[in-house]
């Protein structure tokens, strides 16, 4: 019998086990582990995305359309939690495109282009849809890679090279006092890496921080102030610093008595190290 008092795994811990299984090409094991994770944390955006991507990978290997149906259900559930999730919208659009549900695909792309104008992947798929729907076309072009749905290399078992650099430099904060946790998050709200230094982890950091970051970045740009670099959210339980780190967002959750200047100095070292 399972110990009911045993601590539950976090989404990050589930994802780590999923990555390990995928690295061994154990698709079945990774899917089963992801299902268990979603049973424990059903509203985890990271696990919902991972499950959808695993189902897409399974379709690419087996060509069984049931995998795409399951992937779409997972992406749509994620989008109910976060309607502007970049990868969920993009992959759902590609599945709808493959199923010739062009209106639904365009709806997903419209959301991407609203928050990320000119996004090349969204624009490419939008152009493919428009070409298919054009009455002036001489011949119906084939669907783009109709036997394969691309996840653009951002699957549950991989970290893109730029993220490796962000993770490797986190050691700069290893001896900094007053920090509860460090979180690397991508612009879509997907967790890249979390390090808890003290206390319990703060829940829902990736998704919520991405929303705040996007709002701040849009305000900065639309106000003619340039790119948003960093900001601090003041709370009674400790402050949160949000830092633009080129390929993602660094979130530092501080203790109530943290030395903000010391944290700021360490952040400057971290950012400088990224461009060395």
3-state secondary structure of 53: helix
Confidence of residue 187 (pLDDT cuts 50, 70, 90): low
* 9 against 75, higher pLDDT: 75
Q: Is the dihedral of CA 120, 124, 126, 127 positive or negative?
A: positive
pLDDT at res. 225? 79
Tell me the pLDDT tens digit for each residue of 46-82: 899 999 988 988 888 888 889 989 999 999 999 999 8
pLDDT at res. 2? 43
Reported for 109-113, long-range contacts at CB under 8 A and 24+ positions apart, including other chains, are 111/83, 111/84, 112/86
pLDDT at res. 211? 77
Tell me the pLDDT tens digit for each residue of 99-114: 889 999 999 999 989 8
pLDDT at res. 199? 74
pLDDT at res. 70? 92
pLDDT at res. 247? 66
Please, what are the domains in the chain?
11-133 (1.25.40.10), 161-274 (3.30.450.30)
% of residues, the chain, pLDDT over 70: 82
pLDDT at res. 237? 76
Q: Is pLDDT above 80 for 264?
A: yes
Which helix (H) or strand (E) covers residue 184, if one does?
strand 179-185
Question: In the structure encoding, which two tokens stand for residue 178, read together?
Answer: 């007053």
pLDDT at res. 38? 95
The whole-chain average pLDDT of the chain stands at 80
Tell me the pLDDT tens digit for each residue of 22-38: 777 788 899 999 999 99
* 121 against 263, higher pLDDT: 263
**Cα–Cα distance for residue pair 174/105, rounded to 1 Å:** 44
**Cα–Cα distance for residue pair 59/91, rounded to 1 Å:** 13
**Cα–Cα distance for residue pair 245/225, rounded to 1 Å:** 18
Question: In the structure encoding, which two tokens stand for residue 122, read together?
Answer: 């969204």
Spatial strand order of the sheet with 191-196 comes to 191-196, 179-185, 249-254, 240-244, 230-233
Q: Is pLDDT above 70 for 1?
A: no
By the 10 Å C-beta count (0-12 exposed, 13-18 middle, 19+ buried), 100 is classed as exposed
Distances in Å between the Cα of 47 and the Cα atoms of 33, 96, 115, 230 are: 10, 21, 23, 28
If you write DSSP's letter for every residue of 118-166 in order, what string do you get? T-HHHHHHHHHHHHHH-TT-SSPPPPTTTT----TT--TT---HHHHHH
3-state secondary structure of 26: coil
pLDDT at res. 58? 84
Confidence of residue 207 (pLDDT cuts 50, 70, 90): low
- Asked if 259 and 231 touch (Cβ cutoff 8 Å), the reply is no
Tell me the pLDDT tens digit for each residue of 106-153: 999 999 898 888 877 888 889 999 988 876 444 444 444 445 555 443
Most confident of 88-102, 181-195, 213-227: 88-102
Q: Is pLDDT above 50 for 175?
A: yes
* 193 against 151, higher pLDDT: 193
């Amino acid at each position: 019998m399972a110990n009911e008092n045993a601590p539950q795994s976090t989404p990050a811990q589930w994802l780590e086990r999923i990555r390990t299984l995928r690295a061994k090409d154990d698709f079945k094991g990774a899917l089963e582990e992801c299902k268990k994770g979603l049973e424990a944390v059903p509203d985890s955006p990271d696990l919902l995305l991972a499950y959808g991507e695993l189902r897409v990978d399974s379709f690419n290997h087996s060509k069984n359309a049931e995998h795409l149906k399951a992937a779409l259900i997972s992406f749509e559930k994620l989008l109910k939690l976060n309607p502007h999730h970049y990868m969920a919208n993009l992959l759902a659009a590609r599945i709808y495109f493959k199923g010739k549900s062009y209106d639904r695909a365009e709806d997903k792309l419209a959301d991407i282009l609203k928050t990320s104008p000119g996004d090349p992947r969204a624009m490419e798929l939008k152009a493919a849809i428009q070409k298919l729907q054009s009455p002036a076309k001489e011949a119906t072009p084939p669907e783009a890679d109709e036997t394969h749905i691309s996840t653009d290399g951002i699957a549950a078992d991989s970290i893109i090279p730029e993220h490796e650099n962000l993770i490797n430099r986190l050691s700069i904060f290893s001896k900094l006092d007053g920090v509860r946790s460090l979180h690397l998050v991508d612009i879509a709200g997907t967790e890249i890496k979390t390090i808890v230094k003290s206390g319990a982890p703060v829940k829902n950091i990736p998704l919520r921080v991405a929303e705040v970051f996007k709002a701040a970045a849009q305000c900065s740009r639309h106000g003619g102030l340039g790119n948003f670099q960093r900001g601090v959210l003041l709370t009674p339980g400790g402050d949160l610093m949000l830092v633009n780190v080129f390929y993602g967002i660094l979130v530092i959750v501080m203790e109530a008595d943290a030395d903000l200047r010391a944290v700021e100095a360490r952040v400057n070292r971290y950012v400088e190290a990224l461009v060395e």
